[in-house]
């Protein structure tokens, strides 16, 4: 089966398998935002969750019907039916059908020990359970992928049994057979040999789903592709249960740049670093600075002969051009200006910056200064847009907050109500406004709206849909800086803004002001928003 020229399929399971990792939690809104970002990057399939397992995933699939995915197909995930007698009434299978996704992925037992000990059924009964479950879903007009759970351990233990289960899924109509290294204990040479044998024995499209318990998930995924697999499952940044899943952020550039293989829809590999950081921001987690390809330290160089050589010929100490994956070279003793990154981001947002001018130098200097203070603009494109437009002379704030006072009330017996008092200048007029709220940020938001609504009725449609706080200097304790990231929506699209301060109230107010200003700028200037729209 000659598959060397076939494009590799990318199947992302960040929203399902990724969320099983410790300290990983995504709201429905988070999952919708990430789904759109994954589609924009070029994923073929996005696994949204297990609709029968929890209300959050059920809500996600309902809201995901309004997503305008350009490339990716949404997948729901579940297991085979519990018993042969209840296939057509099995709640899990019915939940998968009700999710209305074009693709359904189900897993079944392919390790004899699991079939015998977990399910307590014979080989024939297990094979029939897989066959009947796949066939039932196919009869409802869905494309079905079969995840062969614990396949590599099962194959090593009893290859005849493992292959028999695969054939049952194929005969029932599964269009992809995905071999899972569920315990993450296989070695690359074992994966290579087993994938080759499966391809020869089944003659169908084979995928790989590897876990990282031996720190080999990426290597095993690549080994499977070299052996002939054409479908890769993994997560962004390798998040997932225990030690994580195969990291698509590392797999994708290795496949494209090292193996010279292609993916169906990945056209802009230089968005890889941005994708990695975006997901970290949504997760409210710090980026892994040492991550291969996309980490801040991936192309960082330090003093002496090493730096001298890099400055003359970077390929002497860099395995790829960092710009290919949207990263940049850094010299630690003399930081290089990130002009290419800033220019790329400006172009992405539809903002034209002159090639040679003091304006561009000022922009680079200003952005670098803000990043040094703790600002990070992944997930905060609206704030970044306002900075660029202000430096270009296209934007002037629509209002100015002159004074801020926040009263925080705490009582054991009474409901806590905080109050914000703002003095806001719009043109030559000054509004002195107070508002109560459920917490200081809510009070600030309400007070700012009350001050501006008379002048700018357009802000009435704005809603705050997400709010995250990150401590930037943990060792400084309560005096540490914090970064506040806010997601806002007007019902048609969402945008992100950021604020940084040692005062969480001040950081929140910065982000709120940027949110209002960005919306007014896109409306008043009649400039279409360049933020990625999120259909609500």
- Going by their DSSP bridges, the two strands 482-489 and 463-471 should be labelled as antiparallel
Place of tokens 């706080």: 469
Position with higher pLDDT, 369 vs 74: 74
Amino acid 288: pLDDT: 92
pLDDT over threshold 60, residue 482:
yes
Share of the chain above pLDDT 90, in %: 69
pLDDT over threshold 90, residue 523:
no
Amino acid 386: pLDDT: 94
215-240 mean pLDDT: 98
The reported pTM is: 0.69
CA of 453: how far to CAs of 279, 295, 496, in Å?
34, 43, 21
Position with higher pLDDT, 172 vs 524: 172
pLDDT over threshold 80, residue 524:
no
Amino acid 529: pLDDT: 41
pLDDT over threshold 70, residue 306:
no
Cα 466 to Cα 471: distance, rounded to the nearest angstrom:
17
Cα 272 to Cα 252: distance, rounded to the nearest angstrom:
9
pLDDT over threshold 70, residue 331:
no
Q: Any idea which of 373-387, 456-470, 495-509 has the lowest mean pLDDT?
A: 373-387
Geometric angle at alpha carbon 504, from 403 and 517, rounded to 5°: 60
Position with higher pLDDT, 491 vs 486: 486
Burial of 436 (0-12, 13-18, 19+ CB in 10 A): middle
519-535 mean pLDDT: 58
3-state DSSP percent of the chain in helix, strand and coil, to 5 = 45, 20, 35
Position with higher pLDDT, 381 vs 41: 41
Q: How would residue 302 be classed by pLDDT, with cut points 50, 70 and 90?
A: low
Amino acid 221: pLDDT: 98
Cα 162 to Cα 169: distance, rounded to the nearest angstrom:
11
Amino acid 339: pLDDT: 61
Amino acid 130: pLDDT: 97
387-404 mean pLDDT: 92
Cα 206 to Cα 222: distance, rounded to the nearest angstrom:
13
pLDDT over threshold 90, residue 62:
yes
pLDDT over threshold 70, residue 138:
yes
Position with higher pLDDT, 35 vs 203: 35
Q: Which two tokens stand for residue 118?
A: 């977990």
Backbone φ and ψ of 151, nearest 5°: -65, -45
Cα 512 to Cα 488: distance, rounded to the nearest angstrom:
9
pLDDT over threshold 60, residue 90:
yes
Interval 243-289: pLDDT, tens: 999 999 999 999 999 999 999 999 999 999 999 999 999 998 988 98
Share of the chain above pLDDT 70, in %: 89
Cα 491 to Cα 461: distance, rounded to the nearest angstrom:
7
Amino acid 336: pLDDT: 40
378-386 mean pLDDT: 87
Question: Average per-residue pLDDT in the chain?
Answer: 89
Q: Which two tokens stand for residue 303?
A: 């003093």
**Domains by residue range for the chain, with CATH:** 9-267 (3.20.20.70), 400-524 (3.30.160.270)
The most confident of the ranges 31-35, 80-84, 458-462 is 31-35
What is the SS3 assignment for 57-115? HHHHHHHHCCCCCCCCEEEEEEECCCCHHHHHHCHHHHHHHHCCCCEEEEEEECCHHHH
Q: Any idea which of 12-16, 127-131, 430-434, 491-495 has the lowest mean pLDDT?
A: 491-495
């Amino acid at each position: 089966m000659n598959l060397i020229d076939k494009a590799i399929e990318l199947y992302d399971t960040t929203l399902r398998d990724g969320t099983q990792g410790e300290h990983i939690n995504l709201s429905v809104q988070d999952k919708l935002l990430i789904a759109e970002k994954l589609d924009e990057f070029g994923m073929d399939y996005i696994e949204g969750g297990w609709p029968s397992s929890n209300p959050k995933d059920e809500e996600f699939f309902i809201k995901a019907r309004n997503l305008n995915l350009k490339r990716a197909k949404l997948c729901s995930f579940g297991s085979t039916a519990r018993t042969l007698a209840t296939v057509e009434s099995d709640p899990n299978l019915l939940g998968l059908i009700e999710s209305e996704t074009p693709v359904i992925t189900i897993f079944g037992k392919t390790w004899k020990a699991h079939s015998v000990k977990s399910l307590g059924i014979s080989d024939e009964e297990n094979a029939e359970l897989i066959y009947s479950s796949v066939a039932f879903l196919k009869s409802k007009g869905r494309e079905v992928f079969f995840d062969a759970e614990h396949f590599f351990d099962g194959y090593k233990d009893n290859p005849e049994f493992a292959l028999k289960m695969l054939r049952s899924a194929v005969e029932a109509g599964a269009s992809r057979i995905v071999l899972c290294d569920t315990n993450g204990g296989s070695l690359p040479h074992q994966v290579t040999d087993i994938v080759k044998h499966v391809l020869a024995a089944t003659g169908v499209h084979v995928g790989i789903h590897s876990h990282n318990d031996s720190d080999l998930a990426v290597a095993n995924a690549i080994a499977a592709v070299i052996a002939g697999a054409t479908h890769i499952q993994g997560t962004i940044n390798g998040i997932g249960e225990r030690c994580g899943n195969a990291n698509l952020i590392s797999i994708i550039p290795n496949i494209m740049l090292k193996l010279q293989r292609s993916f169906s829809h990945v056209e802009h590999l230089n968005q890889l670093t941005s994708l990695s950081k975006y997901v970290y921001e949504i997760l409210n987690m710090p980026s892994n600075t040492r991550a291969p390809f996309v980490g801040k330290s991936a192309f960082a160089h330090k003093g002496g002969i090493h730096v001298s050589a890099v400055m003359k010929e970077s390929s002497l100490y860099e395995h790829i051009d960092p710009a290919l994956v949207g990263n940049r070279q850094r010299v630690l003793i003399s930081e290089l200006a990130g002009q290419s990154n800033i220019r790329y981001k400006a172009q992405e947002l539809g903002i034209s910056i002159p090639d040679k001018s003091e304006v561009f130098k000022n922009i680079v200097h200003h952005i670098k200064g803000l990043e040094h203070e703790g600002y990070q603009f992944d997930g905060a494109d609206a704030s970044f847009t306002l900075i660029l437009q202000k430096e270009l002379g296209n934007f002037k704030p629509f209002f100015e907050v002159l004074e801020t006072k926040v009263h925080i009330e705490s009582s054991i017996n009474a409901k806590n109500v905080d109050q914000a008092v703002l003095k806001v200048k719009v043109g030559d007029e000054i509004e002195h406004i107070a508002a109560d709220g459920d917490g200081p940020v809510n009070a600030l938001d309400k007070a700012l709206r009350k001050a501006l609504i008379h002048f700018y009725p357009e802000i009435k449609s704005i809603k705050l849909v997400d709010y995250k706080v990150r401590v930037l200097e943990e060792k400084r304790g309560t005096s540490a800086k914090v970064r506040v990231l806010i997601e806002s929506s007007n019902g048609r699209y969402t945008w992100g803004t950021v604020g940084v301060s040692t005062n969480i109230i001040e950081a929140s107010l910065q982000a709120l002001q940027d949110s209002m200003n960005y919306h007014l700028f896109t409306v008043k200037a009649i400039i279409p928003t360049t933020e990625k729209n999120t259909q609500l």
